[in-house]
């Protein structure tokens, strides 16, 4: 078996921050895949230091994989602190486009495929809404546990959303000047106060509008024809990506080319997965990860794996 090579690629931003893309590859000519983490986490949701996870798995199957660490998260520098003033607007308008272009600088104008976990799916869709020119540059998208609003009622929702997200998190931002989620043991990485505020507004409200400039992402998406998107939900995800909320997110963009899958024993899966272990469970590599490979190969083949975007 060929060894997966891992490389850290710096992506500088105008404000002096330095993003990091982690590249996983066996075949440097393979179809490019860009991966994005969610809120209060970083790119490690897709890989471990021991070589496990979806990113190295896809690389083993011939894809050229790039994992984003958004500004101040993961291996990006400097880490988020009380002086960090950026939020999700900057992630949408600066960070993600910079990473898309970094991959283009390496691979040329080949079509990419985008894979996201949780809130990362909201950010990817927001990028397509604001910069529709990227639609022709993307073959397909895969979203794991992605939702924008939380409407379901459950005990976990009361604990994780009503108590932690709506009460503890704003208090932590007030005291620390940012959200130290790792120290609070509610996540694997920090969020800025602005990023927390903006995401909390979107979770709470039907309106999908940018608080910085009033851009209406929801209205914009309904006017666009997006690339095919596969939404995966997990049976034991009772709050952060509840299957009903994942469906709501899927339907919020209007009539699109979408697929929905619930990872559950009753549907033939090995386990009833939750919000995190849908990506980290050891059995994922023999359960649903092969289906992700099949999806990515199919959509790369439909346009030609070496076809260039306009």
Read off the pLDDT of residues 157-194 as tens digits, 9 standing for 90 and up: 788 888 888 899 999 999 999 999 999 999 999 999 99
Residue 54 near residue 35, CB atoms below 8 Å: yes
Residue with tokens 């990113």: 55
Q: What is the CATH number of domain 5-303?
A: 3.40.50.1820
Q: Residue 286: exposed, middle, or buried by beta-carbon count in 10 A (0-12, 13-18, 19+)?
A: exposed
* Distance in angstroms (rounded) separating the CA atoms of residues 229 and 163: 32
Give the domain ranges of the chain: 5-303
Full-model pTM: 0.95
Regions of the chain where pLDDT drops below 50:
305-306
Please measure the distance between the N-terminal and C-terminal CA atoms of the chain and give it in whole angstroms: 36
* SS3 state at 131: coil
pLDDT at 307: 63
Strand residues in the chain grouped as ranges (E): 5-12, 18-25, 32-36, 64-69, 112-117, 138-144, 178-179, 191-192, 229-234, 258-263
pLDDT at 157: 79
Cα angle, residue 75 at apex, residues 73 and 79 outer, rounded to 5° = 50
Of the candidates 286, 265, 266, 263, the residue with the CA atom closest to the CA atom of residue 275: 263
* SS3 state at 104: helix
pLDDT at 235: 98
């Amino acid at each position: 078996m060929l060894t997966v090579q891992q490389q850290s690629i710096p992506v500088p931003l105008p404000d002096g921050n330095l993003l990091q893309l982690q590249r996983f590859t066996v075949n440097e000519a393979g179809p490019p895949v860009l991966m994005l983490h969610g809120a209060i986490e970083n790119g490690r949701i897709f890989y471990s230091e021991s070589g496990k996870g979806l990113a190295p798995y896809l690389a083993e199957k011939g894809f050229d994989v790039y994992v984003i660490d958004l500004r101040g998260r993961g291996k990006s520098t400097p880490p988020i602190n009380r002086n960090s003033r950026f939020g999700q607007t900057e992630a949408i308008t600066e960070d993600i486009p910079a990473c898309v272009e970094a991959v283009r600088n390496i691979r040329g104008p080949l079509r990419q495929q985008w894979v996201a976990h949780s809130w990362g799916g909201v950010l990817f869709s927001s990028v397509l809404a604001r910069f529709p020119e990227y639609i022709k540059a993307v073959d397909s998208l895969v979203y794991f546990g992605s939702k924008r609003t939380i409407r379901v009622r459950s005990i976990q929702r009361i604990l994780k959303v009503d108590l932690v997200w709506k009460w503890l998190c704003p208090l932590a931002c007030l005291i620390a000047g940012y959200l130290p989620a790792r120290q609070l043991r509610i996540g694997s990485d920090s969020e800025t106060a602005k990023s927390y505020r903006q995401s909390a507004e979107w979770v709470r409200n039907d309106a999908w509008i940018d608080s910085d400039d009033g851009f209406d992402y929801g209205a914009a998406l309904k006017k666009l024809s997006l690339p095919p998107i596969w939404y995966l939900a997990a049976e034991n995800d009772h709050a952060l990506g509840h299957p009903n909320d994942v469906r709501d997110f899927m339907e919020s963009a209007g009539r699109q080319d979408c697929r929905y899958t619930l990872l559950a024993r009753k549907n033939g899966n090995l386990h009833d997965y939750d919000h995190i272990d849908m990506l980290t469970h050891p059995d994922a590599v023999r359960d649903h990860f092969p289906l992700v490979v099949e999806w990515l190969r199919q959509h790369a083949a439909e346009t030609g794996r070496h076809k260039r975007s306009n």
